[in-house]
Amino acid sequence: MLLSRNPADHDVARDQIAALLTQNNGEYILRIGERPAHEELFAGDLKDDSSGWTGTAKTLTEIDLLRDQISQTVEEVGGKVC
């Protein structure tokens, strides 16, 4: 929703972020993009073509834009991003 050009989508995303922060005592870890399987990651066998990746693939441009949008939206609800 944060990548949408529709202002109503941004409002919904802001409300969802506020709810996540409220329900999780002010802390939430948000992962963007794909993540490798833990077994391969911690075993040191991780390769780009390894199987078991989860999440939604994003381009570097989309990831940068999402990071900026998330930071801005979290600040709108009085939070901080680190």
pLDDT score for 52: 80
pLDDT score for 47: 77
Q: One-letter amino acid identity for 37?
A: A
Could you read off the pLDDT of 19-60 as tens digits, one per residue?
999 999 999 998 888 888 888 778 877 777 777 888 888 899
Burial 15-43 (b: 16+ CB within 10 A, else e): eebbebbeeeeeeeeeeeeeebeeeeeee
**Average pLDDT of the segment spanning 66-82:** 93
C-alpha 40/C-alpha 60 separation (Å) is 23
Tell me the angle at which helices 60-76 and 7-23 cross, rounded to the nearest 10 degrees.
Answer: 70
